[in-house]
Chain A
Amino acid sequence: MNKDDARKLIVEELGNIAPEADFDTIDAGADLMEELDIDSLDFLNFITALHKKTGVNVPESDYRKLATLDGAAAYLAEKTD
């Protein structure tokens, strides 16, 4: 999966969890939880959803790599390569 596809998938999954989120105005390099107003349970659900869709298993120690939209897209692209 390239980065654009990864980002598309991430936006879709986050959109299911937080449909009110406005992805056009968020800073892709800033803290995702703060930008989208999601809590840690939402974040866990997001990780679970990514796993379901792509099979990528994100260990707890990698969570911080997914802390921004850019970071999450890069991570997912790399893991699905």
Chain B
Amino acid sequence: MDEPIIRKSGAAAGVQPNLTDYEKACAEFSWEAARAELDGLPDGGLNIAYEALDRHVANGRGGKLALRWLGKKGEVRDFTYAELNAAANRFANVLAKTGIEKGDRVYTLAGRVPELYIAALGALKRGAVFSPLFSVFGPEPIRTRINRGEGRALVTTERLYKKKIAPWRSEIPSLDHVFLIDGREADKHEEVIDLQGEMDAASEQFEIAQTGPEDMALLHFTSGTTGRPKGAIHVHEAVVAHHITGKYALDLHKDDVYWCTADPGWVTGTSYGIISPLTNGVTMIVDEADFDAERWYSILRDQNVTVWYTAPTAIRMLMRAGADMIEPGRFDKVRFMASVGEPLNPEAVVWSNEKLGRPFHDNWWQTETGGIMIANFASEDIKPGSMGRPLPGVEAGLVQRGDDGSVREVAEPMKEGELALKSGWPSMFRGYLHEEERYRKNFAGEWYLTGDLAMRDKDGYFWFVGRADDVIKSAGHLIGPFEVESALVEHPAVSEAAVIGVPDPVAGETVKAFVALNPDYEESDALLKDILGHARKRLGPAVAPKEIVFRKSLPRTRSGKIMRRLLKARELGLPEGDISTLESDET
């Protein structure tokens, strides 16, 4: 790679990085030692929420600021570790009172409000499984995910409930309890519960559930090429990885003020927006508002943020906003900046180093890995555009799949292969809920196959190449084409649909749909808008196509599968590749 290397010249002033010597840290690392940095439950067992909250209170750190919430309208709410612990206990009591048992799934659908964080931690204390949903999802993705996870309880807001839940609630029999965060002033409906009223009446004391390391704790939905979204199961032992990767890859120190901009509706916002900062005992900033360049720079300065974890789309939006906004002094306190969600382009790394005075450190992981697996470290040189090197305790390789399902390791430098990880790290997913077969397909021997194509240079740095499948990555969110196509063909005019990701300078990729119409319908702008509106209504803006075009028919294989790959190659002007299986082309 001819990109300039960003050298880290010796020890920077001030804080010494947690990981100073990469090779040594890798050689000396063991997961047992990482586990020993946590306390475990007093009577044995392991619980994520205990490590995040109770343990700090028990060790005399209850008075420390855990969470500072910044509201859209300028409000500020502060929670110390003791206060957050008490609130989570109250919610755990509320769940117990309503009959939520160990293993039951508790969902959240809300913007970034304190109650969301309290619900997550309280659910874990109860021994229930926390499953976050993204509040910008439309009714359809929400319903699918609650249904597949057999959600028993949901914490949401009145607005989201009315718009996205109420229309289908009666069709999901498992969903017994819906708590409204802002339900106090609302008309009392029989089918919803006023969360605040219940919280006020609940005790601040709660005996935490006796969960074991292998008990299910988190259920994160992710998308594949085919079929419905998959519920990736994570267990309480994942906290060992959440903790240690926060320490090494994000360089979290206990005096840090840390801001993760990710929404807890996605895995980053849970692993590194709730759990890891709390187990590491830092102060975390939560901003309710969406991206706004001016606001973000102000938060970094006014809140004295020292560690900042954000995403390429946001970084590119900051670049668009220009460097004029960066006043001198605004970045004095920020010590470490990291990025995740999709590969961070080298220009963005170089830009940050020049304009912000420090580089973004890209890292790589996915829903299934539960935590950061490959990273650029605070003490290590950065090769802009590279995702970095594997975390201590993580063994990454590149493999090629054979026809018989076996894999062969690719050893040559800069040769493309599928990124694979040796099984066994604590936050590895333990299954897709109710889909054993789909889970098994991700493994070949001891390798977990990630579905991402990458290369490794002679220094051991990994470079992202692309996806091995048709999954779309837009603004850091994984979108399954099948979920979008299914919603499109539900429109009466649409006979078939194919969905691909097209490059976008800000979002990385955006969703583009090709639709063919049923015989009685004619192509028109009005119909196009109607189909777009239909898709957005069902899927929400984060998943729905940004662009739809008509086709008379779509390219299919002999077995009837739509060849998205071919549509994409044509869209991008790339070679069409092997089209020997093409039966009928698009028209």
User: Is B24 an interface residue when CB atoms closer than 8 A count as contact?
Assistant: no
Whether the Cβ atoms of A41 and B510 lie closer than 8 Å is: yes
Whether the Cβ atoms of B294 and A61 lie closer than 8 Å is: yes
Minimum Cβ distance to chain B for residue A7 (Å): 20
Whether the Cβ atoms of B136 and A37 lie closer than 8 Å is: yes
Whether the Cβ atoms of B540 and A19 lie closer than 8 Å is: no
List A contacts of B506 (CB < 8 A): 41, 44
On chain A, the number of residues with a Cβ less than 8 Å from chain B's Cβ atoms is 19
Within 8 Å by CB of B321, from A15, A42, A61, lies A61
Whether the Cβ atoms of B321 and A39 lie closer than 8 Å is: no
- Scoring B295, B504, B532 by chain A CB atoms within 10 A of each residue's CB, the highest score goes to B532
Minimum Cβ distance to chain A for residue B296 (Å): 11
Whether the Cβ atoms of B136 and A39 lie closer than 8 Å is: yes
- What is the 8 Å Cβ interface bit string for chain B, positions 270-298, against chain A (1 contact, 0 not)? 00000000000000000000111111000
- What is the 8 Å Cβ interface bit string for chain A, positions 26-66, against chain B (1 contact, 0 not)? 00000101000111111011000000000000001101100
List A contacts of B576 (CB < 8 A): none
> In chain B, residues 501-518, which have Cβ atoms closer than 8 Å to a Cβ of chain A?
504, 506-507, 510
User: Is B533 an interface residue when CB atoms closer than 8 A count as contact?
Assistant: yes
> In chain A, residues 1-35, which have Cβ atoms closer than 8 Å to a Cβ of chain B?
15-16, 18-20, 31, 33
CA distance A19 to B524 in the complex (A): 14
Whether the Cβ atoms of A60 and B536 lie closer than 8 Å is: no
CA distance A43 to B131 in the complex (A): 29
Whether the Cβ atoms of A33 and B540 lie closer than 8 Å is: no
Tell whether A40 pairs with B536 under 8 Å between CB atoms, given A18-B541, A19-B530, A45-B546. no
Residue of A nearest to B321 (CB): A60
Whether the Cβ atoms of B293 and A61 lie closer than 8 Å is: yes
List A contacts of B293 (CB < 8 A): 60-61, 63
Tell whether A42 pairs with B292 under 8 Å between CB atoms, given A18-B533, A18-B536, A20-B533. no
Residue of B nearest to A61 (CB): B294
Residue of A nearest to B475 (CB): A41
Residue of B nearest to A37 (CB): B541
Tell whether A33 pairs with B290 under 8 Å between CB atoms, given A19-B529, A20-B534. yes
Whether the Cβ atoms of A20 and B536 lie closer than 8 Å is: yes
Residue of A nearest to B526 (CB): A19
CA distance A39 to B530 in the complex (A): 19
Residue of B nearest to A19 (CB): B533
Within 8 Å by CB of B537, from A16, A20, A63, lies A20
List B contacts of A42 (CB < 8 A): 541, 546
List A contacts of B317 (CB < 8 A): 40, 60
Whether the Cβ atoms of A31 and B534 lie closer than 8 Å is: no
CA distance A44 to B542 in the complex (A): 14
Minimum Cβ distance to chain B for residue A51 (Å): 13
Whether the Cβ atoms of B292 and A41 lie closer than 8 Å is: no
Measuring CB to CB, which residues of chain B are less than 8 angstroms from any residue of chain A?
72, 136, 138, 163, 290-295, 317, 320-322, 325, 474-475, 504, 506-507, 510, 529-530, 532-534, 536-537, 540-542, 546
Closest 10 CB pairs of A and B: A19-B533, A20-B533, A60-B321, A19-B529, A39-B541, A20-B537, A20-B536, A60-B293, A19-B532, A40-B291
- Scoring B532, B534, B537, B541 by chain A CB atoms within 10 A of each residue's CB, the highest score goes to B541
Measuring CB to CB, which residues of chain A are less than 8 angstroms from any residue of chain B?
15-16, 18-20, 31, 33, 37-42, 44-45, 60-61, 63-64
List B contacts of A39 (CB < 8 A): 136, 475, 541-542
Minimum Cβ distance to chain A for residue B149 (Å): 23
CA distance A40 to B542 in the complex (A): 9
Known: A19-B532, A40-B317, A61-B325. 8 other contacts (CB 8 A): A16-B529, A19-B530, A19-B533, A39-B136, A40-B475, A41-B507, A41-B546, A63-B293
CA distance A64 to B294 in the complex (A): 9
CA distance A58 to B534 in the complex (A): 30
Whether the Cβ atoms of B292 and A63 lie closer than 8 Å is: yes
Minimum Cβ distance to chain B for residue A70 (Å): 16
List A contacts of B540 (CB < 8 A): 37
List B contacts of A64 (CB < 8 A): 292, 294-295
- Scoring A16, A40, A64 by chain B CB atoms within 10 A of each residue's CB, the highest score goes to A40
List A contacts of B507 (CB < 8 A): 41
List B contacts of A20 (CB < 8 A): 532-534, 536-537
CA distance A38 to B544 in the complex (A): 11
Minimum Cβ distance to chain B for residue A34 (Å): 8
Minimum Cβ distance to chain A for residue B303 (Å): 19
List B contacts of A38 (CB < 8 A): 541
List B contacts of A37 (CB < 8 A): 136, 138, 163, 536, 540-541
List B contacts of A63 (CB < 8 A): 292-293
